[in-house]
Structure 1
Amino acid sequence: MRVNYLGPLCAGISHPALEGYDLKRFKPTCYLVEVSEEAGVVGPLMEGDLLVVDEQKPAQHADLVVVEVEGEQRLFNSHRIGGRVRLIPTAGPRESLWARQSDLRGVVVSQARRYAW
């Protein structure tokens, strides 16, 4: 699933989903992405959700990770095997990919939703 880069968290980004969020609790290595319309409006990830991504946190088993694929930032579930990570798509085609830690753009550490359904 595609995500859209919004910028570094320390830049003081204003967004309705972040109301009441204490942004100071996150490391300076964090940035925000917004989940694209590919997610739809049902499930644990929905269109418009904001994700806080830590670009220095190493991926572990079953993390949500952001990876650049074909010029787009995309969201995957990680399946760690030794020093490599198997990337399992969160939406769309179910073909997985292999990656190294250095290929990852970050690990999702928090999720914010504007509206609860």
Structure 2
Amino acid sequence: MRVNYLGPAMLGIKHPALEGYDLSGFPPSCYVVEVSEEAGVNGPLMEGDLLVVDEQKPAGHADLVVVDLEGEQRLFKSHRIGGRLRLMPTVGPKESLWARRSDLRGVVVSQARRYGW
């Protein structure tokens, strides 16, 4: 699923999902993305959720990772096989692909949700 870059976490981004959420505790290597409408409104990830992504955290097994794919930032679940990562889509077709380290943009370390739609 697509995610939209909002900016570095340390800039104090203004968004309804972040009301009462303190971004100051995250390191400078973190940035914020918004989950696109592809997520829908049911499930652990929903349209409009904000994710804090750490560019320096190494991807492990079963992490949510942001990947630069065909000019878009997309969200996948990682599956570690030996020293390699297989990327599993979070929505849509379940065709997985191998990750190239150069395509990884970071690991999701936190999620914020706007309530009261």
TM > 0.5 fold call: yes
Name the SS of the counterpart of 1:10 in structure 2: helix
1:35 equivalent in alignment to 2:35: yes
Structure 1 unmatched runs, 5+: none
Contact 1:17/1:112, CA 8 A, preserved across alignment: yes
After the TM superposition, list the runs of 4 or more consecutive aligned residues in structure 1 that deviate by more than 6 angstroms: none
Name the SS of the counterpart of 2:24 in structure 1: helix
Identical positions, percent: 83
Shift of 1:93: 1.3
Residue identity opposite 2:2 in structure 1: R
Shift of 1:24: 1.4
Q: What does residue 49 of structure 1 align with?
A: 49
Q: How many residues align?
A: 117
Residue identity opposite 2:13 in structure 1: I
Residues in 2 aligned to 1:79 and 1:116: alpha-carbon distance in whole angstroms: 34
Residues in 2 aligned to 1:56 and 1:83: alpha-carbon distance in whole angstroms: 18
The two structures, once aligned, show a CA RMSD in angstroms of 1.3
Q: What does residue 71 of structure 2 align with?
A: 71
Residue identity opposite 2:24 in structure 1: K
Residues in 2 aligned to 1:56 and 1:102: alpha-carbon distance in whole angstroms: 13
Residue identity opposite 1:102 in structure 2: S
Structure 2 unmatched runs, 5+: none
Name the SS of the counterpart of 1:21 in structure 2: coil
1:87 equivalent in alignment to 2:87: yes
Classify 1:116/1:43 alpha carbon distance in 2 versus 1 (closer, same or farther; 3 Å): farther
Which stretch has the larger CA shift, 10-19 or 61-70?
Answer: 10-19
Shift of 1:102: 3.4
Residues in 1 aligned to 2:102 and 2:27: alpha-carbon distance in whole angstroms: 19
Task: Report 1:2-41 matches (<5 A).
Answer: 2-41=2-41
| 1:51-75 superposed Cα distances (whole Å, 9 cap, x missing partner) | 0000100011000000011111000
With normalisation by structure 1, the TM-score equals: 0.95
